[in-house]
Amino acid sequence: MSANFFEIKNFSCGYPSFHLSDISLSLTRGAFAGIIGPNGSGKTTLFRGVTGALSTLSGEVLLEGKNLKNLSLQKRAQNIAIVTQTVDAGQITVEDYVLMGRLPYHSRFQFFETKSDLEIARKYMELTGVIRHKDKLMTELSGGEQQRAAIARALTQEPELLLLDEPTSHLDITHQVRILNLLQRLNDELGLTVLMVIHDLNLAAEYCNQLIMFQEGKIFLQGDPDKVLTFETIEEVYKTPVITRINPYSNKPVIFLVSEKMMRNR
Amino acid sequence: MELEIWNLKNNPKYLTWLLAVAGLGVLLLFSMVVSLTLGEMNIGLLDALKMIVGSGDPTSIEYMLVRQVRLPRIILGLAVGGSLSLAGVILQGIYRNPLVEPFTLGISGGASLGVAITIVFGLHLTFGSFVLPLSGFLGAFLIIFLVYTISSRSGAIDIQRMLLTGVMVSFVASSAMMFLMSVSTSENLHGIIFWIMGSLDEPDTSLIWLTLISSLVVLLLSYLFVQALNALRLGEEKALHLGINTNVAVRILFILASLLAGICVSVAGVIGFVGLIIPHLLRMVFGSDYRILLVSSFLLGGSFLILSDVVARTIIAPNELPIGVITGIIGGVVFIVMMSRKKTLV
């Protein structure tokens, strides 16, 4: 039963010039999965397909065995929350922004947030450490703080599955690790299932227990990080020479890049 | 009920909103009183109120002035000012662009064109003066229809495309308008210009009531989509992530707001700036939450236009300035002052 908590079956979606083909993957409840692959390999496109921003060409997406197509948008938003690459919330206070995560639970005639809405929003602002900024405007926050607020907003939706599109891009290593540690804690403590697109292969190896490698709109390989992140697969998919070693601390694969000059002098 | 009380106590935002709505309501009442009593002839408030309920000497000038001039103007001022601000704030919300107002989208252009055609061909002389607002509305409606259909593609509506289409259609309409003006006689020209400048002087009471009722209906209906407007602040796709299909909301809100603006323009002519300035001022004060912006825009817009009308008809009495001049000057100056003050505060 838990083997197919979230399942994508022979899925395809896309634009006239680019589309995904035959994507199949499944996550168990509580998985912490990463999608990797070069720019333009279809990672974000998959998210847009899952959320319904792009219409499905074929295949299906199932959450706990239920086809997403048959769920209302509201129900979907109660079960799946997504943090996109850019936040772009404008002149909204952090608290109001995070509270918007309760919208999927509001009926059309409910204009005001309830006590529990506010409590839930505050709980997750506390957890993500943005509560001290709650009265600031979103535009006044730094990139890392905006990303945290976006995660707080997503958590306020109280989803079963959290999708994140490059949550660590544009952040320094401190904030990268903080965000990923936070996600790991949520995954451990709340049992939240996480699926994120991530560019940094070392971070992907360190934090994810399942990796899905994309190449040109298809899944090239998926499985455990040490199976997916070998120098052969990386060189084939990224067309870049790398060396892989094992992190002596975590026993996870570590990837080193090699410059052109070093390759020549070898 | 317990829920609402809790909210007021623990969420100061709601208390601010409640006070704001009450304050704006008082302002509206104040502007009504001013408009009723002040003018070329000052009338005591009690006397004026008596005349409204029907007592008093029906043959006196004061009675005529209150019942046939001032009261209709107050009602129309509330309806048109409220509607234009409401339409402005809604359109700014769906386009995520604070510079949009009903007139950016060619609604006034279409209405003016309709009226200009009527005047040039003398249709209002043959069929009666009701043809003027009717043709104005038809012109506005035609433009709305064009903008809407051109920017709808295969079931989905492209918001950015809609804005550009609106601006372009507006240019075409104003060029056509200028062409008509360049070939019309000076008497017709005067009629067209007089109409374009806008005024709250409307002899037909049923049109006044129609405008008021439409504005209230749109205000109520817009609240059905207020959460969609709020979610749209993040963009269409992120609204979708929050479970809100903005496509339907955008279509309905566009139609409601532009029809309302079309009605206003055809009844009162082109009264600029209200739809732009009022929502802006309120955004500076309350932020971008549409739950408060919709109703406060309506109230402040109504008060603003009623007061502008008082200025327009008293400042060079017994003559009257076009109300658009007043809204432009007062609104623009207040806006600039607010902007510069805000900068020094932050």
Chain A residues with CB under 8 Å of B95 CB are none
Domain assignment of residue B214, given as a range: 2-345
Q: What are phi and psi of B133, to 5 degrees?
A: -60, -35
Look up residue B70 and give its DSSP letter: I
Question: pLDDT grade, residue B1 (50/70/90)?
Answer: very low
Spatial contact of B116 and B180, defined as CB atoms under 8 Å apart: yes
Query: Could B11 and A91 be called an inter-chain contact, meaning their C-beta atoms sit closer than 8 Å?
Result: no
pLDDT digits (tens, 9 = 90+) for B236-260: 889 989 988 888 888 899 889 988 9
Q: How far is CA A15 from CA A45, A53, A82, B226, in A?
A: 9, 11, 21, 31
Model pLDDT, residue B345: 41
Model pLDDT, residue A1: 43
Q: How many domains does chain B have?
A: 1
Q: Which amino acid, B279?
A: P
Buried b (16+ CB within 10 A) or exposed e, B37-65: bebeeebeeebbbebeeeebeeeeebbeb
Q: What's the whole-number mean pLDDT along residues B172-176?
A: 87
Q: Which residue has the tokens 């029906």?
A: B58
- Determine the distance from the C-alpha atom of residue A263 to the mean position of all C-alpha atoms in its chain, rounded to a whole number: 34
pLDDT digits (tens, 9 = 90+) for B13-33: 888 899 999 999 999 999 999
Query: Could B244 and A115 be called an inter-chain contact, meaning their C-beta atoms sit closer than 8 Å?
Result: no
Pairing of strands A210-215, A23-27: unpaired
Q: Which of A131-140, B23-32, B128-137, B229-238 has the highest mean pLDDT?
A: B23-32
Cα atoms in the 13 Å half-sphere on the side-chain side of B99 = 3
Query: Could A91 and B288 be called an inter-chain contact, meaning their C-beta atoms sit closer than 8 Å?
Result: yes
B57 touches chain A (CB under 8 A): no
All domains in chain A, ordered by first residue: 1-64+160-238 (3.40.50.300), 91-158 (no CATH)
Q: How far is CA B336 from CA B92, B167, B277, B323, B328, in A?
A: 19, 25, 10, 20, 12
Interface predicted TM-score of the whole assembly (ipTM), two decimals:
0.86
Give residues 271 to 310 of B whose Cβ lies within 8 Å of A.
283, 287-289, 291
Q: How far is CA B72 from CA B66, B205, B337, in A?
A: 9, 7, 32
Spatial contact of A26 and A6, defined as CB atoms under 8 Å apart: yes
Model pLDDT, residue B346: 37
Look up residue B78 and give its DSSP letter: H
Kindly state the tokens that stand for A240. 């870049």
Q: Which has the minimum average pLDDT: B4-8, B166-170, B287-291, B320-324?
A: B4-8
Kindly state the tokens that stand for B275. 């739809």
Indicate which CATH number applies to the domain containing B70.
Answer: 1.10.3470.10
Cα atoms in the 13 Å half-sphere on the side-chain side of A21 = 5
**Residue B54 clears pLDDT 80, i.e. is over it:** no
Spatial contact of B91 and B105, defined as CB atoms under 8 Å apart: yes
- What percent of chain B lies above the pLDDT cut of 90? 27
Question: pLDDT grade, residue B6 (50/70/90)?
Answer: low
